[in-house]
């Protein structure tokens, strides 16, 4: 059959319109940006790098955007973002720095300023008001009693100011023991009225030193608590520190400031606490709870319904539903009749997208990748996202996410 030129033009136009309609219907809608810090050198200096990814609203698939940026130092170990999602902070152990980046609405990062801290950083957090940056670090060259410290830096429109005098972390009765910090969380509703507290996980290397000599009979694992007073003043919580297994590796608080959850790397357990009087902890009586082998990271979803734990040795993520009345975690059964979701080798960091609270991304150290999961909003069960895993730079160690532009976010009001 032959077509006239006019018929051919009509046919081509019709096909073009159909293709355009299909592309529009299948267009990618970005709901979040995900930032991943890795040790891959991004410059001649050998600095680490931050890669940026856009999250597709329908599939949860990630696509890289913009060029990788230098972390401002070698060996990035932790990242955090401000509550308004306008600022990102990364801690580098290679040069003992914390570097501040502004975040554009397009997800582009711009390095702004940095500070050098007094030791090797382990973790950092920003309060909800965006007025304080807290950094916990260790210093092997200092006296044992000052081996771990907490520094508080005032923030002004994201810019890092001069730190107040660092607060030492020491176990009562064992003040010369060497303490190694591993994580920090600031209560989610931190303000001048509510949630004025932060908690830090650490272990006593003098009491727990695999392959070496133990020189102390102290309990090895601890959670330190601090009340935050006016002007940012820190004071130890009553009863602090609290025992926390053998080697606590990470912690997270729920959005309502009622519970704190701690992963114990050495005993493969999840330890849960109730928050009393705003800044003190009490063990949940039915804990601890089983995890996979060597849990390394933990996150609570934005609605405070589910907990996800990365298990480094098993290369998977375990999921728990939070019993809202008591805070007790209950294992969630996923799509494969198991409470676990498989990842690439050695997962070490987690983030949940804040826009929908429906996608979980896991940084995998040996996989040089991100593993992605879709979260069932009712059950908390996990299923893999489209095209997972996603390549990253070498040795990814930290991951955070922010909502895109004016996208609404999942929140819980106490």
Query: What is the tens place of the pLDDT at every residue in 109-120?
Result: 999 999 999 999
Dihedral angle, C-alpha 271, 275, 281, 287, nearest 10 °: -30
Mean pLDDT of 385-405: 94
49 within some domain: yes
391, 369 in Cβ contact below 8 A?
yes
pLDDT tops 60 at residue 408: no
The whole-number pLDDT of residue 139 equals 83
Which long-range CB contacts under 8 A does 191-195 form with residues at least 24 apart? 191/128, 191/129, 192/129, 192/230, 194/257, 194/278, 194/414, 195/128, 195/257, 195/278
Q: What is the pLDDT confidence band of residue 230, given thresholds at 50, 70 and 90?
A: confident
DSSP code string of 71-104: -SSSSEEEEEE-TTS-EEEEEETTTTEEEEEEE-
Task: Give the count of alpha carbons within 13 A of 391, CB side only.
Answer: 4
Total domains in the chain come to 1
Residue 132 lies in a domain: yes
Residue 307 forms part of a structural domain: no
pTM above 0.85, yes or no: yes
Give the residue numbers spanning the domain of 77: 29-290+364-370+385-403
Per-residue pLDDT for 291 more than 70? Answer: yes
- Least confident range of 19-33, 153-167, 394-408: 19-33
Q: What per-residue confidence (pLDDT) applies to 331?
A: 93
- How many whole angstroms separate alpha carbon 301 and alpha carbon 326? 17
Q: What's the pLDDT score for residue 192?
A: 46
Q: Provide the mean pLDDT of the chain.
A: 88
| Among 11-15, 89-93, 375-379, 397-401, the least confident range | 11-15
pLDDT over 60 (residue 201)? yes
pLDDT value for 412: 57
Q: pLDDT class for 27, splitting at 50, 70, 90?
A: low
* pLDDT at 35 exceeding the cut of 70: yes
What is the average pLDDT across 233-252? Answer: 96
Is pLDDT at 7 greater than 90 in this prediction?
A: no
Cα separations in angstroms, 202 against 74, 94, 180, 190, 262: 23, 21, 5, 22, 11
**pLDDT (mean) for 301-323:** 96
Per residue in 48-57, pLDDT tens? 999 999 999 9
Name the residue with tokens 């995998």: 364
Highest mean pLDDT among 11-20, 40-49, 77-86, 223-232: 77-86
Report, as an integer, the average pLDDT of 142-148: 65
Domain assignment present for 79 = yes
Q: Is residue 296 part of a domain?
A: no
What mean pLDDT is predicted for residues 316-331? 95
Query: Between these two residues, 141 and 85, which has the higher pLDDT value?
Result: 85
pLDDT at 188: 81
pLDDT digits (tens, 9 = 90+) for 207-220: 999 999 999 999 99
pLDDT attached to residue 325: 93
Work out the average pLDDT over 240-269: 97
Q: How confident is the model at residue 271 (pLDDT cuts 50, 70, 90)?
A: very high
Q: For residue 19, is pLDDT > 50?
A: no
Task: Write down the pLDDT at residue 336.
Answer: 59
Residue 178: give its domain's CATH number: 2.130.10.10
CA–CA dist 277, 18 (Å, integer): 62
CB 291 within 8 A of CB 270: yes
Is residue 353, in this structure, part of any structural domain at all?
Answer: no
- Give SS3 for 247: coil
Residue 247 has pLDDT above 90, yes or no: yes
pLDDT at residue 196, as a whole number: 85
* pLDDT tier, 393 (very low <50, low <70, confident <90, very high otherwise): very high
**pLDDT band at 24, cuts 50/70/90?**
very low
E strand or H helix at 155, and its extent? strand 148-156
Residue 300 has pLDDT above 60, yes or no: yes
Identify whether 22 is part of a domain: no
pLDDT for res 18: 40
In a domain, 352, yes or no: no
pLDDT greater than 50 at residue 8: no
């Amino acid at each position: 059959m032959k077509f006239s030129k006019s018929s051919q033009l009509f046919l081509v136009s019709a096909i073009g319109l159909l293709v355009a309609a299909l592309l529009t219907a299948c267009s990618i809608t970005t709901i979040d940006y995900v930032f991943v810090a890795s040790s891959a050198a991004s410059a001649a200096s050998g600095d680490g790098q931050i890669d940026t990814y856009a999250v597709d609203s329908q599939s949860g698939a990630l696509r890289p955007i913009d060029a990788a940026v230098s972390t401002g130092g070698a060996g990035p170990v932790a990242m955090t973002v401000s509550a308004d999602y306008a600022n990102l902070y990364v801690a580098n152990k290679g040069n003992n720095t914390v570097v501040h980046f502004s975040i554009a609405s397009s997800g582009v990062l711009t390095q702004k300023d940095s500070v050098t801290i007094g030791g090797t950083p382990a973790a950092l957090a920003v309060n909800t008001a965006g007025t304080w940056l807290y950094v916990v670090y260790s210093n092997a060259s200092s006296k044992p009693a000052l081996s771990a410290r907490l520094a508080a830096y005032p923030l002004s429109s994201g810019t890092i100011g001069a730190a107040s005098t660092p607060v030492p972390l020491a176990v009562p009765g064992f003040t010369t023991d060497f303490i190694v910090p591993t994580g920090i969380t600031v209560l989610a509703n931190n303000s001048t009225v509510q949630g004025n507290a932060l908690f830090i996980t650490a272990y006593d290397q003098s009491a727990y030193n695999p392959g070496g000599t133990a020189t102390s009979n102290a309990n090895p694992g601890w959670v330190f608590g601090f009340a935050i007073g006016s002007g940012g003043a820190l004071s130890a919580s009553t009863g602090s520190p609290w025992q926390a297994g053998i080697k606590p590796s990470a912690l997270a608080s729920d959005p309502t400031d009622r519970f704190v959850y701690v992963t114990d790397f050495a005993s493969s357990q999840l330890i849960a606490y109730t928050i009393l009087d705003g800044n003190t902890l009490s063990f949940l009586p039915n804990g601890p709870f089983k995890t996979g082998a060597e849990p390394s990271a933990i996150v609570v979803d934005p609605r405070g319904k589910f907990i996800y734990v990365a298990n480094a040795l098993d290369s998977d993520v375990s999921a728990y539903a939070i019993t809202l009345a008591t805070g007790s975690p209950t294992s969630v059964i996923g799509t494969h009749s198991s409470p676990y979701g498989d990842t690439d080798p050695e997962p070490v960091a987690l983030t949940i997208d804040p826009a929908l609270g429906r996608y979980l991304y896991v940084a995998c150290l040996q996989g040089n990748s991100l593993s992605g999961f879709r979260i069932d909003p009712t059950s908390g069960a996990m299923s893999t996202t489209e095209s997972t895993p996603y390549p990253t730079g070498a040795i990814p160690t930290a991951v955070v996410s922010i909502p895109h532009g004016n996208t609404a976010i999942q929140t819980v009001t106490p």
